[in-house]
Structure 1
Amino acid sequence: MKYFYSKGAFLVLIWMCLLGITSWSYFKMYDTLFQGIEDVGNYSQFGLVPIIPLLFLAPFAGWLADARFGNFKVFRAGCYLLFIASLMACISVLILESSELKQSTMLLHFISGGVAPIVYGIWIIGLIACFVTALELGLDQMPEASTSNTTSFIAWFQISLSTGLWISDSLHTILLECTTNSWMVQLMSSLPIICTSISCCTMFLLAKKWLVIEPNTTKALKTIYQVLKFAAKHKAPIYRSALTYWEENVPSRLDLGKTKYGGPFTTEQVEDVKTFFKILIVLTPLVAVFSATTSIQTVWYWDHTNSSCSSVLIYGFGYSPWWTGIVTMIAYEIIIYPFVKNRLPSTLKRIGFGSFCVLLSNTAYFIIIAIEEFHYGVNITSGRSWLYMIYCAFFGVLSNFTILVMFQFVCAQSPYRVRGLLAGYAICLFTVSISLGIIVLFLFNYICESQYCSLIQALFSIILALIGFIMYCLLARWYKWRVRDEDYNAHRVVEEVYNRYLASPTIN
């Protein structure tokens, strides 16, 4: 694996592991930061709903990395924001957990109602800036890498992120459930500060020596606007000749902007614009798929508070979705992929297969709920830990591979000038769909009062997965793979047309 000889690529993988630890630690601190609000109960999860629009900043962060500041500067700014958010969150947790300060109701309301949303807003902005640019920053360290090495790096990128998520989840779960010390929450609140401090220090000391910083690209959005403007004003080729109509397919209005039809743009520029919009369209149905995945995953969420320490250890090192994802990804990358890399289907087909697996899992859950609702005395889910174990393993493998293939598709098909923008769009779709799935789940759990709420929710998840799968299959079949720049030689075209004319039987 030649990319491991690059110090910059290895440094990016370390940063992703630290970023995974930091991001999951914030989720674990959520209830602590909002505990000062009285009479909220289970509805505290809706406290982050006003912050969800910040997720749409992901494409904007990608555009900043593409046209303004570059991947490294945007990534560095994101790390600084995460450090600030970590410091504010740690101070807030220390105050909320302090026995002397718990008597001040006004202070608790100020921290939970005012400071906590600000902390999570800064955290989301910093996290988006890092996630959007991290993969492209790692690929910049391998300018001469082959397709196989690039694919392998994306896999190890996913492994590093999953490792960070698993470390954070395991530390919080084990230390908080297997120990009785009340100060453990305060201690774990310092974990994001430690991780972000390491990232910032290594960035300050090693970035200039180890990283390859690519120059800023041209303003791709301006090119896209000019191509669309030209297509809107022209319905026919500017240069009319016999060579204009020698192709079998009628050129589209976007194609009229190419130089061979008299337009001011190269073939590469026009194809980049067409590919840009095709990727935007083909990835859109994944919103429904990821939302369905979130709902089914959260419904079967295991409550650690009622479990023994041994069960927590078995979960963390046995069938945790992060742990199973890490193990299967490493096994796939080291053992399986070298033998099947030339026989794998396209990334579009693999994404469709993942969407179909989501549909199957939701259908299986619906059948289980239906049996429990309409056959009294039959209880499948309670008391059977093996069912949750199988699901966790399946969810870990499926989610990791689906995200992996999605990133491979975006990196392979994205034009160089808008790769950050499209990466931000993919991350925006994923995060927004996960957030929408969680919101829908809480609406069903805390608002629906019917005895068939679980059954309705399962049916809703199936409908979401089915709609997303059907739409994706249709769009994936419509999608045409990106066409690179072609060598257009007018003299060669004249010779080919004249040779076909001479070979025509009507002449003989």
Structure 2
Amino acid sequence: IGLLAEFYFVFYKEMLWSFYSVAYIIHTCGYSSFYANIIQYNIDQLVGASADELSSVIYWHILSQPLVDLFYYLLQCLFYGSSYFIIITFIVSGVSVSLVLVSHSFFKHKLENISLIKNPIKLIVRVLCYARKHKYPQNRSALTYWEEEAPSRLDLGKDKYGGPFTEEEVEDVKTVFRMLPLFIGFVALNFSDDSYSSVIDRSFTLPTCLAVTDSIVCFNKNIPSMLTRMSVGIFLAFIVTVSKVIIFVIERSHPDINNLITLLFFPQTIQGLTFILFYPVSLEFTVAQSPVHMRGVMVGLWYATAWGLSYLNSIIAKFLFDCESQYICTSFYYYITKSVLVLIILIVFVILAKRYKYRVRENEVNIVQIVDDHYQRYMEQEEQYKKNRTDDIQYSIQ
């Protein structure tokens, strides 16, 4: 749509804005629906996979975004200022979509198609409504005991305390509400992340693009817990905001664009480490702790919190401090305010992480395997019994 608008409606601004608005809405809907479901779909395909394999899928899923950005920046470096850049990106996008459709048609019969039985939103609303109406246990009326068949103690206890929901369903809802406050960490990361694309346009060369890459260092031993790694990521975000305060205080008296680019290399490098320590680990934590039938909702909330807050930060925060543009802000109060907010969020997140109760699910008993093993042992005993009886008969005949 953008390509057609550029070629045919370049002289009509109203039509151009209309086309770009439609393209932006389609892009947002497709982006949100794809990213909110792809990770859950990939995990559903790995039936019986180990925790390391699931973690690898999540980390590769997060790594795909920087890899795509790196490929995009390489194209922009090679064809920077060229009129064919939009056409090249259009062709690359079309080839990518074609490869996805062709691969799906070839491997569709080998993929698992798992449908959700429960509606997670409906379950959460029902549990909350029942908890609001039944704050105290209901005593059973004495007239109900005049029944021909006395109810079991289990049914009486469930009617009095449990309500119409199982213990697993109630624990799922409680787990969701224990996880939601931890999403406050994304606010700190979005405060520390700033876009300086207009500042580095003059130094936008191929060596610069190759230098801006992400690397993940994996340690097989002595790995801290997920909440600990997320806390370290927020602490690094605080260091990023403090370093920007120092940089813009130094550069405010004698602004130099080249010196500013050099000084911003340190906080941007720390920002990359913050991304590595928080984003993939938080997604891994969300997938691991979310109930199976609520995983899609929680991953959708993860994406809405992670990427939606960045747009709000770039739009609202910079207008409050009268920044020079939407790409850069040199206001001292802008960065000192963000530093204080990130410090408060860090303290709150550490307290929530220490009080968080991990959801430990009991291993489900495989009834089919138990029955199969039982009958296998029974058949072996029967064969052994018949064999011994045959030997005894032959021995008695002799």
TM-score, scaled to structure 1: 0.62
Once the two structures are superposed, residues 130-183 of structure 1 have per-residue CA deviations (whole angstroms, 9 ceiling, x without a partner) of 000111111111110111211122112222232122111221233115xxx433
Structure of larger gyration radius: 2
User: Residues 484 and 239 (structure 1 numbering): CA distance in 2 closer, same or farther, change over 3 Å?
Assistant: farther
* Identity rate, percent: 24
2:380 maps to none
2:345 maps to 468
Once the two structures are superposed, residues 348-380 of structure 1 have per-residue CA deviations (whole angstroms, 9 ceiling, x without a partner) of 12111111110111001101222333xx45x68
The correspondence for 2:28, drawn from 124, 127, 146, is 124
Answer whether contact 1:140 1:214 (CA < 8 A) is retained: yes
The correspondence for 1:477, drawn from 354, 357, 363, is 354
The residue type paired with residue 402 of structure 1 is: F
1:390 maps to 266
1:289 aligns with 2:188: yes
The correspondence for 1:169, drawn from 57, 70, 73, is 73
- CA distance in 2 between partners of 1:469 and 1:95 (Å): 51
Once the two structures are superposed, residues 359-415 of structure 1 have per-residue CA deviations (whole angstroms, 9 ceiling, x without a partner) of 111001101222333xx45x6873365434334433223213311011011011001
Deviation at 1:486, TM superposition (A): 9.5
Once the two structures are superposed, residues 322-349 of structure 1 have per-residue CA deviations (whole angstroms, 9 ceiling, x without a partner) of x2x1xx22xx2xxx332x2xx2222112
1:7 maps to none
The correspondence for 1:413, drawn from 289, 305, 308, is 289
Answer whether contact 2:232 2:277 (CA < 8 A) is retained: no
User: Residues 418 and 158 (structure 1 numbering): CA distance in 2 closer, same or farther, change over 3 Å?
Assistant: same
User: Residues 438-453 of structure 1 correspond to what in structure 2 (within 5 A)?
Assistant: 438-440=314-316, 442-443=318-319, 444=321, 446=323
1:357 aligns with 2:236: yes
User: Residues 369 and 150 (structure 1 numbering): CA distance in 2 closer, same or farther, change over 3 Å?
Assistant: same
The correspondence for 2:205, drawn from 312, 319, 333, is 312
User: Residues 323-342 of structure 1 correspond to what in structure 2 (within 5 A)?
Assistant: 323=213, 325=214, 328-329=215-216, 332=217, 336-338=218-220, 340=221
The residue type paired with residue 315 of structure 1 is: T
User: Residues 481-492 of structure 1 correspond to what in structure 2 (within 5 A)?
Assistant: 481-484=358-361
Deviation at 1:239, TM superposition (A): 7.3
User: Residues 306 and 372 (structure 1 numbering): CA distance in 2 closer, same or farther, change over 3 Å?
Assistant: closer
- CA distance in 1 between partners of 2:43 and 2:123 (Å): 24
1:67 maps to none
1:346 aligns with 2:225: yes
User: Residues 387 and 453 (structure 1 numbering): CA distance in 2 closer, same or farther, change over 3 Å?
Assistant: closer
1:93 maps to 6
TM-score, scaled to structure 2: 0.77
1:11 maps to none
- CA distance in 1 between partners of 2:158 and 2:360 (Å): 13
The correspondence for 1:133, drawn from 37, 48, 54, is 37
User: Residues 9-24 of structure 1 correspond to what in structure 2 (within 5 A)?
Assistant: none
- CA distance in 2 between partners of 1:370 and 1:259 (Å): 65
* Unpaired stretches in structure 2, ≥5 consecutive residues: 141-156, 365-398
The residue type paired with residue 294 of structure 2 is: V
Comparing 189-198 with 273-282, greater Cα deviation is found at: 189-198
Deviation at 1:258, TM superposition (A): 6.5
2:143 maps to none
Answer whether contact 1:259 1:267 (CA < 8 A) is retained: no
User: Residues 236-315 of structure 1 correspond to what in structure 2 (within 5 A)?
Assistant: 236-238=136-138, 261-283=161-183, 285-294=184-193, 297-298=194-195, 300-301=196-197, 303-307=199-203, 312-315=205-208
Task: Please give the secondary structure, in 1, of the residue aligned with 2:27.
Answer: helix
Answer whether contact 1:239 1:262 (CA < 8 A) is retained: no
Task: Please give the secondary structure, in 2, of the residue aligned with 1:156.
Answer: helix
User: Residues 264 and 186 (structure 1 numbering): CA distance in 2 closer, same or farther, change over 3 Å?
Assistant: closer
Answer whether contact 1:224 1:273 (CA < 8 A) is retained: yes
- CA distance in 1 between partners of 2:119 and 2:260 (Å): 57
Deviation at 1:194, TM superposition (A): 2.9
Deviation at 1:436, TM superposition (A): 1.2
User: Residues 370 and 392 (structure 1 numbering): CA distance in 2 closer, same or farther, change over 3 Å?
Assistant: closer
Answer whether contact 2:178 2:356 (CA < 8 A) is retained: yes
- CA distance in 2 between partners of 1:115 and 1:154 (Å): 35
Deviation at 1:189, TM superposition (A): 3.9
The correspondence for 1:215, drawn from 115, 133, 138, is 115
Deviation at 1:474, TM superposition (A): 2.7
Answer whether contact 2:138 2:161 (CA < 8 A) is retained: yes
CA RMSD of aligned residues (A): 2.9
Answer whether contact 1:288 1:467 (CA < 8 A) is retained: no
**How many residues are paired up?**
345
- CA distance in 2 between partners of 1:201 and 1:114 (Å): 32
The correspondence for 1:110, drawn from 2, 8, 15, is 15
User: Residues 468 and 459 (structure 1 numbering): CA distance in 2 closer, same or farther, change over 3 Å?
Assistant: same
* Unpaired stretches in structure 1, ≥5 consecutive residues: 1-87, 97-101, 241-256, 488-508
User: Residues 5-154 of structure 1 correspond to what in structure 2 (within 5 A)?
Assistant: 88-95=1-8, 102=10, 105=11, 107-111=12-16, 113-154=17-58
1:197 maps to 98
Answer whether contact 2:248 2:330 (CA < 8 A) is retained: no
- CA distance in 2 between partners of 1:460 and 1:127 (Å): 32
Task: Please give the secondary structure, in 2, of the residue aligned with 1:212.
Answer: coil
